[in-house]
Structure 1
Amino acid sequence: MGRQKQFVVALSPHERQELTDMTRKGVHSARVMTRARLLLLSNQGLKDRNVAERVGVSTVTVASIRRKFVQGGLQAALYERARPKQPPKLDAHGTAILIAEVCSAPVGRETWTMQLLADRLVTLGVVDSISDETVRRTLKKTFLKPWQVESWCVAQVGADFVWRMEAVLDTYALPYDARRPVICFDEKSYQMLDHVRDPLPPVPGYPARVDHEYKRCGTVNFFVAFEPLMGQRTVTVTERRGNAEFAAQLQALDMRYAAADRIVLVLDQLSTHSPAALYQHLPAEEARRLSRRFEWVYTPKHASWLNMAELEWSVLQRQCLGQRLASVDAVEAELLAWETDRNARSVRANWQFSISAARDKLKRHYHCDE
Structure 2
Amino acid sequence: MIRYTIKLSQEEVNGLMAIINKGSHTTQKFRAAYILLNCDEGDHSEKVTNEQISKVLKVGMRTIDRVKKKFVEEGFEAVLERRPTTRVYEKKIDGDVEAKLVQLCCSEPPPGFAKWSLRLLADKMVELEYVPSISHVSVGEGLKKNELKPWKVKGWVIPPKSNGEFVANMERVLDVYKRPYDVNNPVVCMDESPKQLISAGQLSVPMRPGQEARVDYEYVRHGMVNIFMANEPLKGKRSVEVTEHKTKKDWAEFIKKLADEQYPEANRITLVMDNFSTHAASAFYETFEPEEAKRLWDRFEFVFTPKHGSWLNMAEIELHVLNAQCLNRYISTMDEIKREINAWQDSRNNKGGKINWQFTTKDSRIKLKRLYPSIND
Scaled by the length of structure 2, the TM-score of the pair is: 0.70
Distance change in 2, residues 1:17/1:201 (3 Å): same
Deviation at 1:259, TM superposition (A): 1.9
Q: What SS does the aligned partner of 2:327 have?
A: coil
Alignment match of 2:316 (pick from 293, 310, 318):
310
Distance 1:148 1:75 in 2: 55
Aligned length: 348
Q: What SS does the aligned partner of 1:320 have?
A: helix
| Matched ranges for 1:313-328 at <5 A | 313-328=319-334
Contact kept, 8 Å, 2:331 with 2:337, in 1: the verdict is yes
Distance 1:101 1:170 in 2: 41
Q: Give deviations 1:37-61, integer Å, cap 9, x for gaps.
A: 735964996868998898x635858
Distance change in 2, residues 1:307/1:351 (3 Å): same
Distance 1:138 1:214 in 2: 40
Distance change in 2, residues 1:104/1:164 (3 Å): closer
Deviation at 1:24, TM superposition (A): 4.0
Distance 1:252 1:148 in 2: 40
Distance 2:207 2:89 in 1: 41
Aligned to 2:68: 67
Q: What SS does the aligned partner of 2:246 have?
A: coil
Distance 2:36 2:319 in 1: 66
The farther-off stretch of 33-42 and 165-174 is 33-42
Aligned to 2:227: 222
Aligned to 1:131: none
Aligned to 2:243: 238
Aligned to 1:127: none
Aligned to 1:346: 352
Distance change in 2, residues 1:266/1:241 (3 Å): same
Q: Does 1:191 align with 2:223?
A: no
Distance 1:186 1:286 in 2: 23
Aligned to 2:254: 249
Distance change in 2, residues 1:287/1:104 (3 Å): same
| Matched ranges for 1:1-370 at <5 A | 6-7=5-6, 12=12, 15-16=15-16, 19=19, 24-25=23-24, 31-32=27-28, 35=31, 38=34, 42=38, 57=58, 63=64, 66-67=67-68, 70=71, 76=79, 111=114, 142=143, 143=148, 145=150, 148=153, 150=155, 152-155=157-160, 157-254=162-259, 255-362=261-368, 365=372
Deviation at 1:135, TM superposition (A): 6.9
Distance change in 2, residues 1:163/1:34 (3 Å): same
Deviation at 1:265, TM superposition (A): 0.7
Q: What SS does the aligned partner of 2:159 have?
A: coil
Distance 2:326 2:77 in 1: 60
Q: Give deviations 1:183-212, integer Å, cap 9, x for gaps.
A: 110011123333223333344444333343
Distance 2:350 2:15 in 1: 70
Distance 1:318 1:330 in 2: 17
Contact kept, 8 Å, 1:194 with 1:326, in 2: the verdict is yes
Deviation at 1:7, TM superposition (A): 3.6
Distance 1:83 1:216 in 2: 64
Aligned-residue sequence identity (percent) comes to: 30
Distance 1:281 1:305 in 2: 29
Contact kept, 8 Å, 2:54 with 2:64, in 1: the verdict is no
Distance change in 2, residues 1:354/1:328 (3 Å): same
Distance 1:57 1:83 in 2: 30
Q: Give deviations 1:10-54, integer Å, cap 9, x for gaps.
A: 674895488359x6447x5xx447527735964996868998898
Distance change in 2, residues 1:196/1:347 (3 Å): same
Contact kept, 8 Å, 1:9 with 1:69, in 2: the verdict is no
Contact kept, 8 Å, 1:194 with 1:214, in 2: the verdict is yes
Contact kept, 8 Å, 1:165 with 1:299, in 2: the verdict is yes
Contact kept, 8 Å, 1:221 with 1:239, in 2: the verdict is yes
Q: What SS does the aligned partner of 2:230 have?
A: strand
Contact kept, 8 Å, 2:32 with 2:79, in 1: the verdict is no
Distance change in 2, residues 1:195/1:361 (3 Å): same
Distance 2:356 2:362 in 1: 17
Distance change in 2, residues 1:76/1:181 (3 Å): farther
The farther-off stretch of 45-54 and 326-335 is 45-54
Distance change in 2, residues 1:64/1:282 (3 Å): farther
Instruction: Supply the RMSD in Å over aligned alpha carbons.
Output: 4.8
The farther-off stretch of 146-155 and 43-52 is 43-52
In the alignment, structure 2 segments of 5+ residues that lack a partner are: 91-96, 128-134
The farther-off stretch of 310-319 and 300-309 is 310-319
Q: What SS does the aligned partner of 1:357 have?
A: helix
Q: Please tell me the residue identity of whatever aligns with 1:347.
A: G
Distance 1:200 1:326 in 2: 18
The farther-off stretch of 181-190 and 328-337 is 328-337
Distance change in 2, residues 1:212/1:63 (3 Å): same
Q: Please tell me the residue identity of whatever aligns with 2:252.
A: A
Deviation at 1:161, TM superposition (A): 2.4
